């Protein structure tokens, strides 16, 4: 098995990981390597084609892919080694990590390890929404990949479950895919995005926002035919062929848990100090791995600040 | 349609139908397996709790008792031979009330009647020593070391693959809608007529309806729904045995068990339904499972759920398997309710005997083609961990489904196999890809593309 050594190993090549890696190089750290399990680095923004990225870090209003590319290019020109199709599978001994890639297995040891593995939306099963298992059920993430990266057919009428920022991102993606959003449901009393966003998009795309409403069953056999909903104890059915489960985040905490580190009970994120450090280790956690959910630019700005401290600790 | 008259047509490509096809393909006879679905094992066989039962709790003397006991050994050996994942966990039948505790001795005696002698009653302290995460209140348990877990899907693909390689025709997307009985049997299907001398009905939930077509009325299938919850792999360390309840009249009751894929499963419920297509999970079912689960292993409920689903057991008004030779060289294999995975290979042997009794001459046995199936078990080395495999084909180092760590090469292998998947579900059953905790957040569209390209 191949073994190698770096100063800092960053796991996850999304905005947080790449921003941290760039900052580490700028702060004079010698060898910085980013592991990214996908074919292309950039994280979630890679498949989030609508504008809405980059205000805090680039003072620009960019689409996701443009934003992702800026970080990937920035990392490469700063001298960061970005290894794609490389999955960190578990921690090894003495600050090392096991990696699988098409080149084989590798053990990488590092003076510091930064975890930036991100978060995903809870899917239908994780929310235990009953019914059969027809086709036509997505999260915003899988919807965006199907629409933008793979150009697959989606459907014609969609119901969106959840009313967070990302839910409105789903509305825009559906529009792009030629799917009409018929309703957006949330169990909460109110949507959780900025008022103007909800107002403008609701007006523009003409869908119904239903608060205090829960989805109680997925209808359909081979293909979704509708959702059964409940509002104030009254059930009704909305006909649709597509359901998008949005928001309701869970961090990608597998490495942390398998490593035996503590997890907080609310978000299931690693428990870290104010400096993002897992106590008693030289392992750090940044970006949306540490919930609550934040916009990409916020993740990146915070990651830079932490990277500075990590660099200082290595001097 | 061809004028070919098959020696044997098998209706149903579930675990039972494919096991029969494999057994018969040891002989030089022509075989067709028909299934309405586009893949093998897409009925009840895809949704079970994947336990290799010893048969310790069967009705002594029943056909089921005999075939489960024999099937256990056959499937165990077959799994080892072909590389199908199997884990020797052992079960604990945990008593939560005095009444249940009093029953343990009876169950142990029944196990002996069923030919299973290795079970022992253990104390509450022993139960908690073995399973520290169990909820409070366990009074003791019957320990049944022979109850194991197995990959429930790969055997079906393996059976069908061997039959196919030995010449059987696997006719998918072919639903039987009628029959004309003459010098031989002509099955009318959604895909034209299929002619055969002998017909075997292994149609699971629809076995009574196929009987009807043949003018036979021995039983009515009552679909009994079993709902299940599957928890994230990160919960696997909570439980290390199959935790069974002390059985009641409605069946085996709700269990908590690891799966060979490294998850923990909670279920099944048992509810008789009218509708044979009602394979959805329900709000009440999920609530019931949560209540049960929080008593058996409270910490489990804090874990993420990666799948919920339901399977329909083909139960009947009788308690035993309904396997019968009828007139017109027609055999019914019905009522294979809740042990069909374990019993499948023994059922196949039994059916072969009936076929011989009905006048089919099989001739000498020939060898089945040797096959090695993908081992999808978490307790074994998966391709992504296998330096040699990756050196041989770099695609084994390209993880495509991150949650299950399934690689691109495994997906390609499945797509290029003798019995390729036709749906994402079928691909998942063959490779685990897409079946993990993110339910496709990351890989769904990539998998769909690969599948649709085929
Ligand atoms: C649909 C959607 C729309 C959004 N819209 C906006 C928006 O308009 N504006 C905005 O600012 N924010 C938006 N966000 C939020 C934004 O995408 C996130 O805040 C940001 O991506 C978080 O960055 P991150 O680096 O923490 O995680 P991620 O972007 O998730 O990156 C994590 C990376 O780690 C990799 N990884 C994980 N585990 C491993 C491992 N074991 N080995 C190797 N690599 C690994 C992953 O492949 C991934 O590339 C949206 C999010 C979604 C899902
Ligand atoms: C919740 C649950 C848990 C279980 N747990 C276990 C366990 O732990 N261990 C164990 O050993 N067993 C278990 N079982 C039992 C086991 O799953 C079944 O006994 C077994 O799958 C039955 O297989 P089968 O081939 O008879 O039926 P099926 O898998 O239903 O196959 C019948 C096939 O016939 C096809 N068909 C029907 N009608 C027609 C037609 N007209 N034309 C063409 N094709 C047709 C169907 O499409 C189907 O594919 C469980 C069952 C359930 C439901």
Instruction: Please give the Cα distance from B386 to B60 (Å, whole number).
Output: 46
- Co-location of B283 and B243 in the same domain: yes
Residue B250, pLDDT above cutoff 60: no
**Is B308 close to A101, i.e. CB distance below 8 A?**
no
Interface pTM (ipTM) of the complex? 0.93
Ligand 1 binding residues, C-beta < 6 A: A 11-17, 35-38, 43-45, 48, 52-53, 87-88, 116-118, 140-141, 144, 166, 169, 252, 255, 287-288, 294-297, 299
Is B169 part of any domain? yes
Asked if A119 and A288 touch (Cβ cutoff 8 Å), the reply is yes
Q: Do domains A2-120+250-314 and A123-247 have the same CATH topology?
A: yes
Q: pLDDT (tens digit, 9 = 90+) per residue, B433-448?
A: 999 888 766 787 789 8
Reduced to 3 states (helix: H, G, I; strand: E, B; else coil), residue A189 is coil
Measured between CB atoms, does B186 come within 8 Å of chain A? Answer: no
Q: How far is the CA of A52 from the centre of ligand 1 (A)?
A: 14
Instruction: Please give the Cα distance from B191 to B178 (Å, whole number).
Output: 12
Q: Which residues of B touch A216 (CB under 8 A)?
A: 283
Q: Among residues B306, B339, B357, which one ends one of the domains?
A: B357
Instruction: Please give the Cα distance from B56 to B402 (Å, whole number).
Output: 39
Q: Which residues of A touch B450 (CB under 8 A)?
A: none
Q: How far is the CA of A197 from the centre of ligand 1 (A)?
A: 21
Question: Residue A201 has what pLDDT?
Answer: 72
Tokens encoding B27: 């002989």
Tokens encoding B218: 């021995």
- Co-location of B303 and B333 in the same domain: no
- Co-location of B194 and B205 in the same domain: yes
- Co-location of B228 and B125 in the same domain: yes
- Co-location of B157 and B140 in the same domain: no
Tokens encoding A306: 């932490």
Whether B241 is a known active-site residue: answer no
Whether B169 lines ligand 2, by a CB cut-off of 6 Å, is no
Among the partner-chain residues B283, B395, B402, the one whose CB lies closest to the CB of A37 is B402
Closest of A14, A136, A167, A142 to residue B438, by C-alpha: A142
Q: Which residues of A touch B440 (CB under 8 A)?
A: 123, 138-139, 142
Class of domain A2-120+250-314: alpha beta
- Bridge partner list, B180: B186
Measured between CB atoms, does A105 come within 8 Å of chain B? Answer: yes
Measured between CB atoms, does A85 come within 8 Å of chain B? Answer: yes
Instruction: Give yes or no for a cis peptide into A292 (omega within 30° of 0).
Output: yes
- Co-location of B38 and B129 in the same domain: no
Instruction: Please give the Cα distance from A205 to A158 (Å, whole number).
Output: 12
Is B307 part of any domain? yes
Residue of chain B with shortest Cα separation from A216:
B283
Residues with Cβ within 8 Å of A203's Cβ and at least 6 positions away in sequence, in order, are none
Asked if B188 and B153 touch (Cβ cutoff 8 Å), the reply is no
- Co-location of B293 and B393 in the same domain: no
- Co-location of B328 and B311 in the same domain: no
| Tens-digit pLDDT string for chain A (315 aa) | 899 999 999 999 999 999 999 999 999 999 999 999 999 999 999 989 888 899 999 999 999 999 999 999 999 999 999 999 999 999 999 899 999 999 999 999 999 999 999 999 999 999 999 999 999 999 999 899 889 887 888 999 999 999 999 999 999 999 999 999 999 999 998 888 777 777 777 767 778 899 999 999 999 999 999 999 999 999 999 999 999 999 999 999 999 999 999 999 999 999 999 999 999 999 999 999 999 999 999 999 999 999 999 999 999
Q: How far is the CA of A17 from the centre of ligand 1 (A)?
A: 10
Give me the DSSP letters along B89-153.
Answer: --EEEEE-SHHHHHHHHHHHHHHHHTT----EEEEHHHHHHH-TTSPTT--EEEEETT-EEE-SS
Measured between CB atoms, does A104 come within 8 Å of chain B? Answer: yes
- Co-location of B141 and B171 in the same domain: no
Residue of chain B with shortest Cα separation from A100:
B397
- Co-location of B210 and B227 in the same domain: no
**Is B286 close to A132, i.e. CB distance below 8 A?**
no
Residue B249, pLDDT above cutoff 80: no
Residue of chain B with shortest Cα separation from A87:
B399
Cα B396 to chain center, whole Å?
Answer: 28
Measured between CB atoms, does B234 come within 8 Å of chain A? Answer: yes
**Ligand 1: which of A118, A120, A193 to mutate, judged by most atoms within 8 Å of the beta carbon?**
A118
Instruction: Please give the Cα distance from B349 to B74 (Å, whole number).
Output: 10
Q: How far is the CA of B93 from the centre of ligand 1 (A)?
A: 45
Whether B35 lines ligand 2, by a CB cut-off of 6 Å, is yes
The DSSP secondary-structure symbol of A177 reads T
Residue B294, pLDDT above cutoff 50: yes
Give the start-to-end residue ranges of the domains of chain A. Answer: 2-120+250-314, 123-247
Question: Residue B248 has what pLDDT?
Answer: 65
Measured between CB atoms, does B452 come within 8 Å of chain A? Answer: yes
User: Which range marks the domain in which residue B425 is found?
Assistant: 383-453
For tokens 């709902």, the residue is B227
**Is B402 close to A250, i.e. CB distance below 8 A?**
no
Among the partner-chain residues B280, B397, B445, the one whose CB lies closest to the CB of A149 is B445
Question: Residue A187 has what pLDDT?
Answer: 94
**Which numbered ligand comes closest to the C-alpha of A90?**
1
**Is B309 close to A133, i.e. CB distance below 8 A?**
yes
Q: Which residues of B touch A149 (CB under 8 A)?
A: 445
Question: Residue B251 has what pLDDT?
Answer: 61
Residue B87, pLDDT above cutoff 80: yes
- Co-location of B300 and B244 in the same domain: yes
Q: pLDDT (tens digit, 9 = 90+) per residue, B43-71?
A: 999 999 999 999 999 999 999 999 999 99
Average pLDDT on B274-281 reads 93
Is B286 part of any domain? yes
Q: What does CATH list as the number for A123-247? A: 3.50.50.60
Measured between CB atoms, does A153 come within 8 Å of chain B? Answer: no
Is B69 part of any domain? no
**Is B441 close to A37, i.e. CB distance below 8 A?**
no
**Which numbered ligand comes closest to the C-alpha of B50?**
2
Q: Among residues B339, B357, B375, which one ends one of the domains?
A: B357
Q: Which of B27, B37, B53, B198 is catalytic?
A: B53
Q: How far is the CA of A295 from the centre of ligand 1 (A)?
A: 9
**Is B442 close to A152, i.e. CB distance below 8 A?**
no
User: What is the nearest CA distance from B291 to chain A, expressed in angstroms?
Assistant: 14
- Co-location of B352 and B437 in the same domain: no
Question: Residue B1 has what pLDDT?
Answer: 46
Q: Among residues B259, B287, B315, which one ends one of the domains?
A: B315
Measured between CB atoms, does A37 come within 8 Å of chain B? Answer: yes
**Is B446 close to A87, i.e. CB distance below 8 A?**
no
Asked if B12 and B151 touch (Cβ cutoff 8 Å), the reply is no
Average pLDDT of chain B, as a whole number: 95
Asked if B196 and B9 touch (Cβ cutoff 8 Å), the reply is yes
Q: Which residues of A touch B444 (CB under 8 A)?
A: 138, 142, 145-146
Angle of helix B154-165 relative to helix B340-357, nearest 10 degrees?
30
Q: Which residues of B touch A145 (CB under 8 A)?
A: 442, 444-446
* CATH code of residue B334: 3.50.50.60
- Through-space distance between the first and last CA atoms of chain A, rounded to whole angstroms: 30
Among the partner-chain residues A1, A123, A221, the one whose CB lies closest to the CB of B439 is A123
Please state the domain count of chain B: 3
Is B70 part of any domain? no
Q: Which residues of A touch B302 (CB under 8 A)?
A: 265
Measured between CB atoms, does B285 come within 8 Å of chain A? Answer: yes
- Through-space distance between the first and last CA atoms of chain B, rounded to whole angstroms: 26
**Is B444 close to A146, i.e. CB distance below 8 A?**
yes
Total-model pTM: 0.96
């Amino acid at each position: 098995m191949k073994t190698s050594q770096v100063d800092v190993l960053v796991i996850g090549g999304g905005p947080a990981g790449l921003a941290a890696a760039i900052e580490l190089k700028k702060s004079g750290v010698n060898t910085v390597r980013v592991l990214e399990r996908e074919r292309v680095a950039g994280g979630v923004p890679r498949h989030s084609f609508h504008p809405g990225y980059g205000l805090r870090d680039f003072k620009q209003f960019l689409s996701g892919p443009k934003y992702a590319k800026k970080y990937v290019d920035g990392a490469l020109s700063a001298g960061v080694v970005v290894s794609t199709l490389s999955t960190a599978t578990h921690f090894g001994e003495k600050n090392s990590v096991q990696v699988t890639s098409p080149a084989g297995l590798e053990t990488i040891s590092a003076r510091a390890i930064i975890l930036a593995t991100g978060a995903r939306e809870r899917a239908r099963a994780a929310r235990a929404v009953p019914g059969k298992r027809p086709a036509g059920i997505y999260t915003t993430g899988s919807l965006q990949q199907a629409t933008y990266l793979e150009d697959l057919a989606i459907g014609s009428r969609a119901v969106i479950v959840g009313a967070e920022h990302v839910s409105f991102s789903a509305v825009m993606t559906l529009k792009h895919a030629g799917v009409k959003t018929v309703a957006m449901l949330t169990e909460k009393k109110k949507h959780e995005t900025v008022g103007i966003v909800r107002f403008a998009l609701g007006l523009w795309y003409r869908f119904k926002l239903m608060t205090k409403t829960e989805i109680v069953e997925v209808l359909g056999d081979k293909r979704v035919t509708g959702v059964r909903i409940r509002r104030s104890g009254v059930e009704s059915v909305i006909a649709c062929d597509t359901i998008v489960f949005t928001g309701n985040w869970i961090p990608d905490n597998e490495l942390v848990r398998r490593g035996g580190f503590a997890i907080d009970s609310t978000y299931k994120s690693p428990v870290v100090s104010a400096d993002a450090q897992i106590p008693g280790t030289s392992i750090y956690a940044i970006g949306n791995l540490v919930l609550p959910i934040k916009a990409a630019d916020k993740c990146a700005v915070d990651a830079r600040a932490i990277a500075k401290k990590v660099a200082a600790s290595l001097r | 349609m061809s004028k070919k008259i098959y020696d044997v047509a098998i209706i149903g490509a579930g675990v039972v139908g494919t096991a029969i096809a494999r057994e018969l393909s040891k002989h030089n006879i022509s075989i067709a397996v028909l299934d309405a679905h586009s893949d093998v094992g897409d009925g009840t066989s895809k949704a079970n709790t994947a336990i290799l039962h010893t048969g310790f709790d069967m009705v002594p003397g029943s056909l089921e008792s005999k075939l489960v006991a024999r099937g256990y050994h056959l499937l165990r050996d077959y799994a080892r031979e072909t590389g199908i994942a199997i884990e020797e966990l052992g079960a604990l039948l945990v008593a939560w009330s005095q009444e249940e505790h009093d029953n343990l001795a009876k169950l142990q005696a029944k196990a002996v009647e069923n030919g299973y002698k290795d079970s022992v009653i253990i104390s509450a302290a022993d139960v908690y020593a073995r399973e520290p995460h169990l909820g409070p209140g366990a009074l003791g348990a019957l320990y049944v070391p022979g109850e194991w877990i197995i990959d429930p899907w790969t055997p079906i693909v393996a059976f069908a693959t061997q039959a196919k390689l030995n010449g059987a025709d696997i006719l998918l997307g072919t639903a039987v809608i009628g029959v004309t009985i003459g010098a031989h049997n002509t099955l009318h299907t959604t895909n034209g007529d299929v002619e055969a001398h002998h017909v075997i009905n292994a149609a699971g939930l629809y076995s009574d309806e196929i009987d009807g077509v043949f003018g036979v009325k021995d039983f009515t299938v009552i679909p009994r729904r079993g709902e299940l919850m599957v928890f994230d792999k990160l919960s696997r360390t909570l439980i290390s045995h199959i935790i069974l309840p002390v059985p009641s009249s409605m069946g085996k009751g709700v269990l908590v068990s690891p799966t060979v894929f490294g998850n923990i499963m909670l279920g099944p419920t048992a509810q008789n339904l009218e509708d044979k297509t009602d394979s959805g999970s329900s709000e009440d079912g999920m609530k019931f499972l949560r209540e049960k689960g929080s008593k058996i292993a409270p910490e489990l409920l804090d874990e993420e759920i990666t799948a919920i689903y339901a399977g329909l057991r083909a139960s009947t008004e009788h308690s035993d398997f309904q396997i019968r030779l009828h007139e017109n060289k027609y055999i019914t294999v019905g009522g294979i309710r809740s042990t069909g995975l374990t019993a499948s290979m023994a059922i196949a042997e039994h059916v072969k005997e009936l076929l011989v009794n009905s006048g089919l001459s099989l001739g000498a046995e020939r060898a089945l083609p040797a096959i090695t199936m993908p081992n999808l078990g978490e307790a074994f080395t998966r391709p992504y961990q296998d330096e040699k495999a990756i050196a041989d084909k770099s695609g084994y180092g390209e993880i495509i489904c991150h949650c299950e760590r399934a690689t691109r090469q495994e997906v390609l292998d499945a797509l290029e196999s003798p019995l390729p998947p036709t749906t994402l579900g079928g691909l998942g059953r063959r490779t685990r890809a897409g079946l993990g905790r993110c339910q496709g957040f990351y890989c769904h569209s990539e998998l769909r593309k690969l599948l649709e390209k085929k």
